[in-house]
Chains A and B, each alone.
Chain A
Amino acid sequence: MSSNRVSRAQLLLVMLLLVVLQFYVRPRLWDARISPDFLLIALMLFAMRSSPGVAALAGFAVGLIADTLTPARFGAGALAHTLVGYLASWGRAVFFADNMLVNAGFVAAGLWLRDFIVLMASGTNHRQMLTELTLYSPLQALTTAGFALIVLITFRSMFSVRLDA
């Protein structure tokens, strides 16, 4: 078995760990509106190492999960995550994405953009949207980016792999 395949398997294990964290640990944390979004971290880290099409597909899958499990408007999450995944994959080519802080910044920006698209697509009123986008989304982006940084530092060797190579 080549080292690249081992790294990919390890990366998938990290993704699986993030999924477990999302559904088993996140409900036990503090306020759900500002606690880290582990699924988005997984999507962003995956998208930045994948081709845009695969990233969009991963985004669609994550969005579908979000739409199925949250009582928001069906399809809004899928649309938002598809766009975010696709843009994250393209963004890797524009920015110097191997830097961990840039990765964390990508995660924060992706979360805010995801929230913006979901709120727009769900038809939220302006007052609530303003509160969400200026208060809760930045806070959640901060915590999510912080945790993404921890993941990147902990599994540094695994995230050096390029999945689309």
Chain B
Amino acid sequence: MISTSDRRYTRRDTLLFLLCLGLSLFGLFSPVTWAHGVADTLRGTVLSPLVWLQARAEEGRTSRVRFRQVTSQRDSTAYLSQFLPSLRAENERLRQLLRLSRRLNSGYVSAEVLHQPQAMDGRTLLLSAGSRQGVAVFNPVVAPEGLIGMVSSVSGKSSVAMSWAHPEFRVSAFTVSGNAFGVVAPSNEGRNGEGALEFRGVPYRDSVPLGTLVLSSGLGGVFPKGIPVGTVIGTVREEAGWERVYRLRPAANPGSAAHVLVLVGTPQGRDLAGAFPSDSLLEAGRLDSIARLRRADSVVQAARAARAARRDSLTRASPIQGGAPTSPIQGGTSSGPAPALKDSAP
């Protein structure tokens, strides 16, 4: 049996429960505007500390998330920026290759160089184009900078190119000014681990100034005329007074070439020099013009020296004929000797 206090206790609980239940149902079925009004009031008064607390928590969480996003974006950017220079370089090379292909005006096949992780990579290159693309043995291989080599063997989808670094590589060449012909071959004395070329068989009388561009001559029928091979950077040796051997800095580097053009069906005798208007070519032309000017200056100086010598001989002869002595300096600055004396000159 329930005691009076327990009964009162139970009744109070029931009343409280019913009151709460009634209020809840009233809130549930009351108009939305009323409900929103009550909620807004509670949020702005009694529950404002809790709302503030939750807002700070959300702020902290979103700040953490934002910080993580910013950090990951920064890391991604740093990671991508590492590849930017190489991408730019490759882009520039491809642009150069495109420009070259437009200027060539002859048949070509573009190919990728499939570099191998071997020490001998650079002497022979595996190309991604083969006989199916029209590549044949002895086709020249060029880069935007100049000559890379020639195709030495061909299969269906790939081919092997012998680069200028191969010991058996030879190309007939001449200077851009046209005054010296010879044969370019790989040098045995590479400096600083870099490959170099030698311009051999140049007659002793034909001096080639530093910086002169050497092009393929087209002789031999393998390489068309006018492909840049290298630039003269020094003299290797002089063979007993009849031949000079020059060191060349190669125009193109097979070790770093990623994309090349294989020239197919280039007509014999065609000059491709116009397809390679590189800075080195312009520089070589400028150097040649300077050399020509120097040569012209030396001729003028020689003529002056000859005139001065003749004047000296005349002044030495003048006392015998009774003329006044003239200093060589005065004679040198005068407009010229007297006609009577000139005729007497030997």
Contacts and interface: CB of A to CB of B under 8 A. Distances in A.
B292 interface: no
A121 interface: yes
Given A24-B53, A68-B43, A121-B28, A75 B35 contact: yes
Contacts of A33: none
A61 B200 CA distance: 102
B25 interface: yes
**Interface SS, B side:** helix
Given A28-B60, A53-B15, A78 B50 contact: no
Nearest to A26: B57
B301 interface: no
Interface stretch (B6-14, B109-117, B159-167, B316-324): B6-14
Contacts of A64: 27, 42
Contacts of A69: 43, 47, 50-51, 54
B16 A53 contact: yes
Contacts of A113: none
How large, as a class, is the contact surface on chain B?
35 or more
A78 B27 contact: yes
Given A56-B13, A67-B27, A68-B42, A82 B35 contact: no
Interface in A74-128: 74-76, 78-79, 82-83, 86, 121
A6 to B, nearest CB: 25
Contacts of A140: none
B306 interface: no
Interface centre among A20, A25, A74 (most CB of B within 10 A): A74
Interface centre among A24, A28, A59 (most CB of B within 10 A): A24
B148 to A, nearest CB: 59
B28 to A, nearest CB: 3
Nearest to B37: A74
B88 interface: no
B54 A27 contact: yes
A23 interface: yes
A59 B20 contact: yes
Contacts of A54: 13, 16
A51 interface: yes
B39 interface: yes
Interface centre among B23, B27, B32, B35 (most CB of A within 10 A): B27
A21 B251 CA distance: 73
B169 interface: no
A159 B14 CA distance: 25
Contacts of B47: 65, 68-69
A60 interface: yes
A25 B53 CA distance: 9
A19 B21 contact: no
A56 B27 contact: no
Interface of A: 19-20, 23-28, 51-54, 56-57, 59-60, 63-65, 67-69, 73-76, 78-79, 82-83, 86, 121
30 contacts: A23-B50, A23-B53, A23-B54, A27-B54, A27-B57, A28-B64, A51-B12, A51-B13, A52-B13, A52-B14, A52-B16, A53-B12, A53-B17, A56-B17, A57-B20, A68-B42, A68-B47, A69-B51, A74-B27, A74-B28, A74-B30, A74-B39, A75-B26, A75-B29, A75-B30, A78-B20, A78-B28, A86-B17, A86-B20, A121-B28
